[in-house]
Structure 1
Amino acid sequence: MEKEKTLIELAGIKLKEDGFHRPYFELEENDGVVILAKEGDSFLLIEQYRKPVGTTVQQLPGGGVKEGEELEQAARREFLEETGYQCGTVHYLGFLQPASWRTNEITHAFFTEEIGTKQHQQLEEHENIKVIKVKINECLNKVKENKMNDSELCYALLQSILKGYITV
């Protein structure tokens, strides 16, 4: 059996190949964070076009963890930047590996139901994010019907239900 090899290395990302010639990505900074935010009977989600899947996706606000940043701090920062809202108490739901067969990426999920007043989004140049509110039952039904299928959203919903933050 052949050993793995690096095919390309660029900007902290390595495209590698395992001993069976299957490609995968190894990220130098592989931690990400998301927040499932409940406001009354709705969730605060974001909607944005995602080039890799060629469509607009409804998902949780979140992003990368900066060097030296605590996970909760990163989640709060990303939530504020992408939605324009600050949040109060957050609860750690756990982490998922959204595509363990393809990348070493890890996403840490949080839950909050303490949302402050709306301010301005602080989007990065490449971001075009629309903030949306989706009724909890509508969101759950869309997941059930496979109309919302973002892995981070589905994981956070499941963990929030299992941990008792959301009742169905």
Structure 2
Amino acid sequence: MSNRLTSTLDEVTLSTQPIFEGKIITLQVDTVRLPNGNTATREVVRHPGAVAVLAIHNGKMLVVDQFRQPMGRCEIEIPAGKLEPGEDPKEAAIRELQEETGYRCGEIKLLQSFYTSPGFADEIIHLYVTEELESGEMSPDEDEFLELSEITLDEAYRYIREGRISDAKTIMAVYAWHLYTMTGKFGE
């Protein structure tokens, strides 16, 4: 995301040791040379990237409730999913919105791309927004169980306070939506 080429803070990768290769992520340990000449190790999670959609329908935000194994509980989130190899993020956002909510969108716009945990992972999420929605039929992945609902901005803030919404992409989407309700702009 940065146009910066080099810095006095850059670390040089000396070697990479693959540790794990899964269906979604890989884990590697890099040995790096630090700016002061010393060496250190860095554990790095590689991820193909993801998309998420802030979808506003009749003044409410579309969300899905689903069980999240790492958290051991259900989480209310905006529609989202990982990128397939070589997939255009915009097309992935349109696909994920339809699969998880049944809604098809007209115009869809990129709000922001951001890294989720740059201290150890290269996962980037591309957050899109749409208000042009046409209902259809959900078609989640075979191992994906979701409950779709539409919530108001007040409900979204209440769910954040209650911990029912606690993931960064959804909280970021709520803040962007709030900004939009106040200014008519998504931060452009």
| Same fold, judged at TM 0.5 (above) | yes
Post-superposition offset of 1:161: 4.2
Runs (4+) of structure 1 exceeding 6 A deviation are none
2:125 is matched with 107
Unaligned runs of 5+ in 1: none
| Distance in 2 separating the partners of 1:37 and 1:10 | 31
8 A Cα contact 2:153 2:174, kept in partner: no
Identical-pair percentage:
26
Amino acid at match of 1:9: E
Post-superposition offset of 1:93: 0.6
RMSD: 2.4
Amino acid at match of 2:172: Y
How many aligned residue pairs are there? Answer: 162
1:104-147 deviations in Å (ceiling 9; x for gaps): 11100011111112x2211111100110111112213433x262
Structure number with greater CO (CA < 8 Å, separation at least 6) is 1
Residue 156 (1) aligns with residue 173 (2): yes
TM-score (ref. length: structure 2): 0.75
| Distance in 2 separating the partners of 1:12 and 1:24 | 14
**DSSP-derived class of the 1:79 partner:** helix
1:127 is matched with 144
Distance 1:10 1:41, change over 3 A: closer
Distance 1:151 1:15, change over 3 A: same
After the TM superposition, which residues 68-147 of structure 1 pair with which residues of structure 2 at under 5 Å, given as runs?
A: 68-117=86-135, 119-143=136-160, 145=161, 147=163
Which one of 9, 13, 23 corresponds to residue 43 of structure 2?
23
Amino acid at match of 2:155: E
> Larger Rg: 1 or 2?
2
Unaligned runs of 5+ in 2: 1-13, 32-39, 184-188
Higher alpha-carbon deviation: 107-116 or 97-106:
97-106
